Homo-oligomer: A and B are copies of this chain.
Amino acid sequence: MRISDLALAAATPLSAVKYYQREGLIFEGVRSSPNQVEYDDSHVQRVRLIRALIETGGLSIAATAEVIRAIDTPGAPPAETFRVAQHAMSTPRTAESIPSTRSRECVHLLARRRGWCISDDNPGLDAAARALDGLYAIDFDAPDSYLDAYADAAASAADADLNALTTRSGADEVAELMVVGTALGDPLFAGLRRLAQQHATTSLFPHTNANGTPS
């Protein structure tokens, strides 16, 4: 198929496909004549993946390129692909500030309490610590009960992430779901958390339930 058909098949604007191509995110098609390049289903799959990473996952072009490279590395062990995906998804914005010693220690203690086997360069350590610093800044001390509830939530999601991988065969498909699932699990959780918050709020404060109607 031509590039315009590729865009159609991937339900992505042609301008976006050309942009991904210029940025080197799509592997080359087969040149069938001096003016024409042919694409196939593997390109459709790739364009969808890139779009999901950028638009829903919120990754930069550079981070997307890194994740794509990890997927395309033959024989990379799952833990290594996860590591690359996780690092690519640490956005520069959140990487700017260094978390406080207090919040870092708190996250390390929490991980130890859960028996989590993690490496010191896991970007989740600083990401969680930075969020804690924001809570400390408004004098909320994030008691253990609060942290444990979030750790339960994280463990539940991580188990679902890993279980989902067992539905796929082929290293490419596993790696693809690993990185896309890592990127999209965050907004999925964020969306569901807002639903659960509204439900919990209207349960706790029923007299203020002016907007709440059963789903």
Contact = CB atoms under 8 A, between A and B. Distances in A.
Interface of A: 45, 48-49, 51-52, 55-58, 77-80, 82-83, 86, 93-94, 96-97, 107-108, 110-112, 114-135, 137-138, 140, 143, 145-146, 149-164, 167-168, 176-177, 180-205, 207-215
A138 B191 CA distance: 20
Contacts of A198: 79, 82-83, 86, 116-119, 122, 124
A interface, by DSSP: helix, strand, loop or mixed? helix
A134 B189 contact: no
A127 B194 contact: yes
Contacts of A180: 134-135, 138, 140
A158 B200 contact: yes
Contacts of A140: 164, 167-168, 177, 180-181
Count of this chain's copies in the oligomeric assembly: 2
Contact of A55 (B97, B186, B195): B97
A45 B163 CA distance: 44
A121 to B, nearest CB: 7
B80 A124 contact: no
Contacts of A186: 186, 189-190, 193
Contacts of A82: 197-198, 201
A77 B195 contact: no
Nearest to A129: B191
A86 to B, nearest CB: 5
Contacts of A83: 198, 211
